[in-house]
Amino acid sequence: MTPPLIAVLNGPNLNLLGIREPAKYGTATLDDVESLCAEVAEELGLAIDFRQTNGEGELITWVQECRGRAAGIIINPAGYTTTSIGLLDALIAVELPVIEVHITNIHRREEFRHNSYVSKAATGVVAGLGVQGYALALRAMAQLIAPAEAEDLP
Ligand code: DHK
């Protein structure tokens, strides 16, 4: 059986992980995060499509493309979390389980980071646990999609 595909999508400035404000975001690079996700996905029997973009439109297109292709979406929308109704609408439109990840605890930070549009489409949110939040999100996603997968068993 082909492993279920989970899209792991990353928004603006996450390409700078490791260099960008390491006291807040840590020293792991985006490549390190991808390796972590690949390792955990393999353990869970999932396939991942791990991507990053600085463009809002591209992120929305990637979300749209998940329909009929992916079993779930893990997304760190970064700066688009609190600004993009277009991203929210795309996440609602695809009708897939969505887990929102933030490396930092956005609720302990500036007020403008608190109001996540993406949360209105998210099944769950992981925030403040560093890049391990991606691994936790994958584990939670495996549980979320398990009943649907089990129905396919003989
Ligand atoms: C990443 C960003 O780039 C910020 O815009 C968010 C998020 C927080 C994170 O913690 O991963 O406010």
CATH number at residue 59: 3.40.50.9100
Q: Rounded to whole angstroms, how far apart are CA atoms 18 and 100?
A: 21
Residue 50 CA to ligand 1 center (angstroms) comes to 17
Exposed, middle or buried, 111 (CB in 10 Å: 0-12/13-18/19+)? exposed
- Report the nearest-CA residue for atom 2 of ligand 1: 78
- Span 64-92, mean pLDDT? 98
More confident call, 114 vs 147: 114
Number of domains in the chain: 1
What pLDDT sits at residue 1? 80
Average per-residue pLDDT for the chain = 95
For ligand 1, is residue 102 a contact (CB within 6 Å)?
Answer: yes
Q: Is 104 part of any known ligand binding site?
A: yes
Dihedral class, residue 18 (left if φ above 0, else alpha if ψ from -120 to 50, else beta): left
Digit-coded pLDDT (tens) for 49-61: 999 999 999 999 9
Q: Which domain covers residue 108, as residue numbers?
A: 5-152
Supply the DSSP symbol for 75: E
- Span 110-139, mean pLDDT? 97
Count the Cβ atoms, other than its own, within 10 Å of residue 29: 16
For ligand 1, is residue 79 a contact (CB within 6 Å)?
Answer: yes
Q: How far is CA 12 from the centre of its chain?
A: 13
Digit-coded pLDDT (tens) for 12-31: 999 999 999 999 999 999 99
Q: Is 76 part of any known ligand binding site?
A: yes
pLDDT-based confidence at residue 149 (cuts at 50, 70, 90): low
pLDDT at 151 over 60: no
pLDDT at 152 over 70: no
Atom of ligand 1 nearest to the CA of 105: 10
What pLDDT sits at residue 61? 98
Q: Rounded to whole angstroms, how far apart are CA atoms 139 and 116?
A: 22
What pLDDT sits at residue 136? 98
pLDDT-based confidence at residue 150 (cuts at 50, 70, 90): low
List all residues 6 or more positions away from 25 whose beta carbon is below 8 Å from its beta carbon: 17, 103, 104
